[in-house]
Amino acid sequence: MRTSKKEHLLLTAIGIVDKHGLEALTYESLAEASGLSKSGLIYHFPSRHALLLEINRYLAAQWEAQLTAAAGAPIEELDDAARARAAVRVCSSNATRADLLFALDASREPEFNEIWEKVLGDWQLPRAMILTDPRRYLVHLIGDGLWVHDHINGFALTEKERQSLIAAALTLIDEKPSA
C-alpha cells in the first residue's frame, strides 16, 4: 500500500525528532527532508501545533493497533489481565528517542495528552489497583521501565534479556496476592 503524502510527512517529521530532537522540527527542516515546499507543508499542517497534534494522533493510533494485535481481540472483549498482558508486551519494546520526546511533550500539553488518554486509558490498569492489587499494578510499571530502560541506563538489553524480563512480568499478572 502506498503511503499518503500526509503520512509521509508525519513519518519524516518523526524521523527528524528521532535524530535531532523536538526543537529541530521546523517547517524548514521538514520541507528539506521531505522534498515538499513550505507552502505544501502548510496545506497539510497550517501551524507547528497542528503538525504536533497530528503526530500525536498518528503515534497514538499506532499504539492502539499494536495493543489490539498483541491482545488478539478488541479491547471490549478483554478482562483486566488480558489488557495488562497486551500492555506489557507492547510497552516492553524499546522506545525510540522520538517516542520519549513526544511522550514528554504530550504530558505538558493538555490537547496532546488527551489524545493519549483516550487510547492508553482503557489499556492501563485502574489506578485503584495500586492499593487493592499492587503486585499486578507493578507489572504495568515493569512495562514502562522496559520501554525506557535502554535510554536511561548505561547498557541496552539484549533481545534474550528483554524477553526473559517480559516473561517474568507476565507471570506476575496471574499470580494471586499472598494473604
pLDDT of residue 132: 87
pTM score of the predicted model? 0.87
Domains of the chain in sequence order? 1-46 (1.10.10.60), 52-174 (1.10.357.10)
Q: pLDDT value at position 158? A: 95
Return the pLDDT at 19: 97
What is the structure's pLDDT at 173? 82
Q: What is the pLDDT along the chain (179 residues), one digit of tens a residue?
A: 566 899 999 999 999 999 999 999 999 999 999 999 999 899 999 999 999 999 999 999 999 999 999 999 999 999 888 888 898 889 888 899 999 999 999 999 999 999 999 988 888 877 888 898 888 888 888 988 999 999 999 899 999 999 999 999 988 887 766 65
- The sign of the dihedral angle between the CA atoms of 150, 140, 171, 66 is negative
Q: Is 9 exposed, middle or buried (0-12, 13-18, 19+ CB in 10 A)?
A: buried
Per-residue pLDDT at 177: 63
pLDDT value, residue 36: 92
Check residue 1 and give its pLDDT: 53
The phi and psi torsions of 4 (rounded to 5 degrees) equal: -70, 165
- If we measure between CA atoms, which residue out of 94, 12, 18, 111 comes closest to residue 60? 111
Cell of 91: 510497552
So what's the pLDDT on residue 61? Answer: 94
- The 3-state DSSP class for residue 175 equals coil
